[in-house]
Amino acid sequence: MSIPKAELHLHIEGTLEPELAFALAARNGVALPYADTDELREAYRFSDLQSFLNLYYGLMAVLRTEDDFADLTDAYLARAAAQGVRHAEIFFDPQAHISRGVGIGTVVAGLGRALDRSEAVHGVSTQLIMCFLRDESAESAMETLEAAKPHLGRIVGVGLDSAEVGHPPAKFREVYEAAAALGLRRVAHAGEEGPPAYITEALDVLGAERIDHGLRCLEDPELVARLVRDRVPLTLCPLSNVRLRAVDVLAEHPLPAMLDAGLLCTVNSDDPAYFGGYAEDNFRAVRAALGLSPERLRELARNSFLAAFLEHDEERRAR
Ligand code: ADE
Ligand code: ZN
């Protein structure tokens, strides 16, 4: 039995399993530079975030139609439900699709079709968060927010992802201000590979309400004290951290130290098709490698609902 939990750090494009990638490639007549799913899986040996992103953006070539995005999302929701996820706040990267000629309307319609039936079919409530690619320009982010305006009824918030180092949050001040003015919630990846100063900047300049990853906050005791005091949730992704070499081995993951410090940590799967596991797989892995007590695991699950953008009645139902 898996513990009921909310998933707060999940890139829908990162749930593209090799089998579905090949099925969509055949459906859309897209040639892939891999002979088969085994050869594709073989390529999942990453040295850092950028080496992963290169493959990840390349494989998105198979996602072309509304049906593709609906099938992708449906497959994720089925897996998530089987792993005890009751609520999922799902990231997507509009710019990674717009740049390939796939409009945000197609993407949101496909995602939305799967999300609309998620509660009835899978028992999972959902929210959508659109992310800006931080290695693209601030102007491109603003254009993306503009393009999203007809779809804001479906989108709860904005996030910031992609290559972190060299792309500090402050570049996106204006688009985050515009998003806040539209009533959107704000999160940002920070402190995955980038320095703790990026976390501080995401809070101060972007008004981020949650920090995605935030691993490197530990290098700055004053920042840790602030995150604890202000109850800022961190959406950690342990299996991702190992695969992208942010930590050497799971047994050295700082999650126990972070919980001991009083940080509001959650455990999530990031890009589960690439990193070796979905939500419960991450819970199981940290339990095994870090010897977390049942009480600590319950705390992590409780934190996931506390940190979610849920209304109170939705929260009650999710439990
Ligand atoms: N996009 C997908 N996964 C990501 C990650 N772990 N960090 C930054 N951007 C991402
Ligand atoms: Zn992420």
Which of the residues are catalytic?
A: 192
Rounded to whole angstroms, the Cα distance separating 100 from 84 reads 34
**Ligand 2 midpoint to CA 49 (Å):** 10
Bridge partners (DSSP) of residue 234 are 211, 265
Torsion of CA 45, 189, 194, 220, to 10 degrees: -130
Task: Tell me which residues have their CB closer than 6 angstroms to ligand 1.
Answer: 11, 14, 49, 161-162, 189, 192, 240, 270-271
Q: Which atom of ligand 1 is nearest to 93's Cα?
A: 1
The distance of Cα 241 from the centroid of its chain, to the nearest Å, equals: 13
- Residue type present at position 127: Q
**Ligand 2 midpoint to CA 130 (Å):** 12
pLDDT of residue 312: 54
pLDDT of residue 314: 52
Q: Which atom of ligand 1 is nearest to 11's Cα?
A: 2
The distance of Cα 285 from the centroid of its chain, to the nearest Å, equals: 18
pLDDT of residue 316: 46
**Ligand 2 midpoint to CA 12 (Å):** 10
Q: What is the mean pLDDT of each run of 10 residues along the chain (319 residues)?
A: 94 99 98 98 98 98 98 98 98 99 98 98 98 98 98 98 98 98 98 98 98 98 98 98 98 98 98 98 98 97 97 52
11 is in an annotated binding site: yes
ipTM attached to this prediction:
0.98
pLDDT of residue 149: 98
